[in-house]
Amino acid sequence: MQVQNDNPPPDVPLDAETAARNRLVIAILLISTFTVFLNETIMSVALPRLMEDLQVSAGAAQWLTTAFLLTMAIVIPITGFLLQRMNTRPVFLIAMSLFSVGTLISAISPGLELLVLGRVIQASGTAVMMPLMMTTVMSLVPPSSRGKTMGNISIVMSVAPAVGPTIGGFILDTLDWRWMFWLVLPIALGAMLLGYLRMKNVSEPRYAPLDIVSVGLSAIGFGGIVYGLSQMGEHAGEGTVPAWIPLVVGLATLAVFVYRQTILQRDDKALLDLRTFLRKTFTVSVVMMAISMMALFGAIILLPIYMQNVLGMTTLQSGLLTLPGGLLMGLLAPFIGRLYDRYGPTVLLVPGSIVVSAVLWFLTTLGVETPVPVLLVAHVALCGGLAMMFTPLFTASLGSLPPQLYSHGSAVVGTIQQVAGAAGVALFVALMSMQAGAMMANGASEVAAVSGGIRLAFLVGATISLFAIIAAFFIKKPEPPQFGGEGEPAFAGGH
């Protein structure tokens, strides 16, 4: 496989014009990806308002989130193919066009059906942006400075979802819910126009076969898993369709998908090349990333529930409390990236995973009288620990791959993030709901029951986080790729 072979090997110094071109391309991708990822969680605080305005049930309104996650899980595995067959600029314009059209449809939606369609179209564009940015950065940025650039990507990955609920709370406090889309639309259109005028092609497309069977298996497999997990989280296992049915179907189909990829990749025809997992650093990093995403999205869902249903805070107040942590992640990300470039991942991952685990263990003590300032400090510490983990994990995982697997590695990382996020939400909410129901059946008040359910959910999360601490010791900084006499990277084992 050969991807982006019009660029020199990473160890070759760039002329001023090429370096300026690369910086511009990465900057446009960062701005655009931040915009589309901000949209992913801005809706999280809007469901009660939407249920009231559209006169729909909680289960129906939840499809706004479920449909978005489903689309992401289905589209992301296909992006490896798209990034090989198409050039940078057209892929970018397709992604931002889809996102902008979806945003416009959502903004003018008179009812739930059209709003769900708008969210699906939005998600189709969002799903392409992150793998596009990751693959482009890995191809353009030399290994010696990838940590700094990945730090900027971590701002997109962590801050945008973290501040989304805060922005949503501000909008809903004063404006109609449609303004969540009207305010995003001009930003998306501006980013698309900037890309149309200034985006440069930095890749050379090549022929890559599309295995239609793999596309179908991927859609059923990843879609079934995310749908099943989402149903577990939304209904605590008591949905119209039992959550275990799509989950089992998804897992069984995914097993067939994996087997088919192992056959196809022998001839470089796989939709998702799983030889990425032959690198120990990539595999361990992805596992650790999954645990981190479960903790992040689980906390994003549970803490607002705790603040509003137990502490009696408003939507706006709970959004404001989570804002400092999100901003801290953004402030730390570039600094952590430079530390990675200088010292490697271990000095960041080990303390970061310990901090995250410690905070999750503290959250198992939450009660009806927990002081708000203490909760604020805990959330800021959690975000700080996660910030120390995301940049090294992104950089080490993709940096351990040969360049011809960057597009596949980016697609794998994006897919794992979506599945792990859905799993975190499902696990935490299902545990909270079951424990709260059991406590209320035994005579506990609703506030005490919700508090007890949240403690149990964080207890399980804290236990899982211990595995991340162990994994942190096994992630090493990858060696720069070795290039042969003709400038082509060698496809060899290693990290």
Identify which has the larger pLDDT, 198 or 490: 198
Domain presence at residue 487: no
The average pLDDT across 472-485 equals 69
pLDDT tens, 378-432? 999 998 998 898 888 888 888 888 887 887 888 888 888 878 877 787 778 878 8
Q: Which residues span the domain enclosing 447?
A: 16-472
Q: What is the mean pLDDT of residues 472-479?
A: 85
Instruction: Render pLDDT for 327-361 as a digit per residue (tens, 0 to 9).
Output: 888 888 888 888 988 888 999 999 999 999 999 99
CB-based burial of residue 45 (10 Å sphere; 0-12 exposed, 13-18 middle, 19+ buried)? Answer: buried
In a domain, 274, yes or no: yes
Q: Is the pLDDT of residue 238 over 60?
A: no
> In this structure, is residue 224 part of a structural domain?
yes
Whether residue 441 is contained in a domain is answered as yes
Query: Residue 5: inside a domain, yes or no?
Result: no
Residue 27 resides in a domain:
yes
Q: Is residue 9 part of a domain?
A: no
- pLDDT tens for each residue of 102-159: 999 999 988 888 999 999 999 899 888 878 888 888 778 777 777 777 777 777 766 7
Q: 126-157 burial, b for 16+ CB within 10 Å, e for fewer?
A: bbbbbbbbbbbbbbbbebeebbbbbbbbbbbb
Q: Across residues 168-192, what is the average pLDDT?
A: 86
For 5, the enclosing helix (H) or strand (E) is: none
Please tell me the total count of domains within the chain.
Answer: 1
Going by pLDDT thresholds of 50, 70 and 90, the confidence category of residue 256 is very high
Quick one: which of 297, 346, 345 has its CA closest to 322? Answer: 297
* Mean pLDDT, range 201-214, rounded to an integer: 74
**Residue (of 99, 126, 145, 96) closest to 417 by Cα position:** 126
Residue 71 has pLDDT above 60, yes or no: yes
Mean pLDDT of the 302-326 span: 81
Question: The domain spanning residue 220 has which CATH number?
Answer: 1.20.1250.20
Q: Quick one: average pLDDT of 58-67?
A: 72
pLDDT at 7 over 60: no
Per the domain annotation, does 77 fall within a domain? yes
Is residue 197's pLDDT more than 70?
A: yes
- % of residues, the chain, pLDDT over 90: 17
Q: Please give the full DSSP string across 95-155, using - where no structure is assigned.
A: HHHHHHHHHHHHHT-SSHHHHHHHHHHHHHHHHHHHHHHHHHHHHHS-GGGHHHHHHHHHI
Length of the chain: 495
